[in-house]
Amino acid sequence: MDKRLTANVVKTRAAVLDHEYALIESLPKPAGRRPRLVDVGCGSLGLLGRSNGRLLNLEPDSLGIDIDLQSLAANRNVGHRLCASCYSLPLQDNSVDIIACRWVFEHLENPEKAMQEFSRVLRPGGFLYVKTPNLLNYAMMISWLTPTVFHNVFRSKSGMRENIPTFYRANTGHTLSRLAAKTGFAVRRLERWPYSFMYYAFNRELFLVMRALSRLVRQITDRMEQMLFCVLQKV
């Protein structure tokens, strides 16, 4: 990867993370206490501790949850860690203010069950933040139609670790909105962002072509952008 391409990749990732932090920072805070954030599917990095002290007040009481014990153990950006499934969170009812769930929904066989569990542990008025691929994106449609082993060959060329199976059962704005209504949430924010060209960062020519295609599609519609940012509130 040449220096200019590397700079573009770094800049794009930083812009996405900055926007995610801004979304969390914009959420109403409970009076008289620190909000409690749970990062479900946090892996080795998660959301917190990655933007020069922003959201620092959330870190001491934060909880990282993942089924991958090795990745979870490497995460030093959360205050506490638990190895558990999103379908059965070891948390009391109405005990959490914010749940962040990033790059997880595409892997869920039963997203409705997970959202019911999120609703259970969130306090009334609490927020669920979801970041997940948009199935209406052309790159994601191809991904959906190809087996996991193909993805892993492709990801290895990009220097990424192997993927786990994907189901894409809650990966359009319409489906997320429908599931939100069934599980006690209201949609407060739903955005689509360009990102699919980032999967081609291992090859300069492919990266530039896919970025140009992404910009062209965005001029027509944003419904095919690769990334969904969704903020839901428990009602």
Q: Is the dihedral of CA 44, 47, 48, 52 positive or negative?
A: positive
Provide the residue range defining the domain that includes 81: 3-234
pTM greater than the 0.75 cutoff = yes
**Considering only CA atoms, which of 224, 219, 207 is closest in space to residue 139?**
224
- Intra-chain end-to-end CA distance of the chain, in Å: 47
**Considering only CA atoms, which of 166, 133, 139 is closest in space to residue 152?**
166
- Give the type of residue at 36: R
Q: 96-102 and 63-66 as β-strands: parallel, antiparallel, unpaired?
A: unpaired
Q: How confident is the model at residue 200 (pLDDT cuts 50, 70, 90)?
A: confident
Q: Is the dihedral of CA 192, 136, 230, 221 positive or negative?
A: positive
**Cα separation values, 200 from 30, 40, 48, 145, Å:** 42, 27, 26, 18
- CATH number, domain of 37, equals 3.40.50.150
Q: What pLDDT, in 10s, does the model give residues 35-74? A: 999 999 999 999 999 998 999 999 999 999 999 999 999 9
80 near 62, Cβ under 8 Å? Answer: yes
Instruction: Supply angle C-alpha 132, 135, 140, rounded to 5.
Output: 90
Give how many domains the chain has, as a whole number: 1
Averaged pLDDT of the chain: 90
**Considering only CA atoms, which of 224, 121, 113 is closest in space to residue 179?**
113
pLDDT exceeds cutoff 70 at 156? no
Give 180's Cβ-side CA count (13 Å radius): 23
